Amino acid sequence: MVQGRLASLTLLLVLTGVLWFSAEAFKKTGVLRIRRIPGLDAIDELVGRVTEMGRPMAFVLGGTALEAQGFASMRILDYVASQSAKYDARLFVVAPLPEMEPMCQEIMRAAYLREGKVEEYNPSDVLYMPGDGSKAGVLGLYQREKVAGAMLFGNYYYESMLFAEAANLAGASQIGGTANYHQLPFFVASCDYTLISEEIFAAGTYLSKEPTEVGGLTAGEVGKALAVVLMIIGSLLATFGNDSISTLLTK
């Protein structure tokens, strides 16, 4: 065992266990209490808005590497693509990574297939825009296509400000979401709704209410509760000169 990683391994195993058991429990009871997330409720509003206006919307994924935020964002894309297909709203998807592009294509195609409109799916609406080229590309897309709605989700860096503000200037309603705390102020300033940090991971559960999604959300909440309890106990003990919690976490 590598020194200092016992606590991480224990947490990982606990979270996996909680995920599994709460998914099983949800299968039996079907009971889920989850607070309202206005940013996710607004997705349907946004799709309705672009449909009424007869203008397209853009779903722009952020990312320099495919990681957890990318997967969570694609989960949201799955829902947005279904809604777009259902209401015949045109949806442009911007994938910043080459490996994301075929995934987005598959998600879009499957969404149109589910709605029985696969012949209406246009693969050219999924755009691969890598690196710095994506910045000019997305700004151009907003202006050329006159998008009425934009959704920005994923691992964003400085481009959050560019994309969000440019969509705002193009007159688009926006929903943004990232777990990168340094970009959240930009989304808050420019977007109509912002999903803050773990809310993008909760989106799958909120939108689908499938058992394993519920398990994942419960595991995250248990992890947070555990962190708060450890912080409170650790702070109290440290105040009295006892560092047993910090020693335990570094084992």
Partner 1 sequence: MKRQGPVLVAFVTGVIVLAGYFFNSQTVVDMSTQIVRWQNIVAAFALALGGVNMFRLHGKNIIGRKKNWVYSCIFMVAFVSYFVLGVAKSTTSAEYQYIWQNLYQPAASTMYSFTLFYMTSACWRAFRIRNWQAAVLMVTGAVVLLGQVGIGAAISEAIPAVSAWIIDTPNAAAIRAITIGGSLGMVVMSIRVILGLERTYMAGRQD
* Cα–Cα distance for residue pair 70/106, rounded to 1 Å: 15
Query: Is residue 158 close enough to count as binding partner 1 by CB under 8 A?
Result: yes
Query: Is residue 197 close enough to count as binding partner 1 by CB under 8 A?
Result: yes
Q: What does the DSSP assignment read for 158-227? A: THHHHHHHHHHHTT-EEEEEES-GGGHHHHHHH-SEEEETTHHHHHHHHHH--HHHHHHHHHHHHHHHHH
Query: Is residue 245 close enough to count as binding partner 1 by CB under 8 A?
Result: no
Write the CA distances from 1 to 5, 6, 197, 224, 248, integer angstroms.
Answer: 7, 7, 31, 25, 15
The region of 4-12, 39-47, 232-240, 243-251 touching partner 1 under the rule CB under 8 A is 4-12
Query: Is residue 227 close enough to count as binding partner 1 by CB under 8 A?
Result: yes
- Maximum Cα–Cα distance for the chain, whole Å? 69
Query: Is residue 50 close enough to count as binding partner 1 by CB under 8 A?
Result: no
**Residues between 66 and 125 with contacts to partner 1, criterion CB under 8 A:** 67-69, 71-72, 74-75, 77-78, 97-99, 101-103, 106-107, 109-110, 124
- Residues in contact with partner 1, total (CB under 8 A)? 71
Query: Is residue 64 close enough to count as binding partner 1 by CB under 8 A?
Result: no
Q: What does the DSSP assignment read for 160-178? A: HHHHHHHHHHTT-EEEEEE
* Cα–Cα distance for residue pair 205/38, rounded to 1 Å: 14
Query: Is residue 240 close enough to count as binding partner 1 by CB under 8 A?
Result: no
The region of 40-48, 49-57, 159-167, 235-243 touching partner 1 under the rule CB under 8 A is 159-167
Choice between 181 and 240, CB closer to partner 1:
181
Choice between 48 and 130, CB closer to partner 1:
130
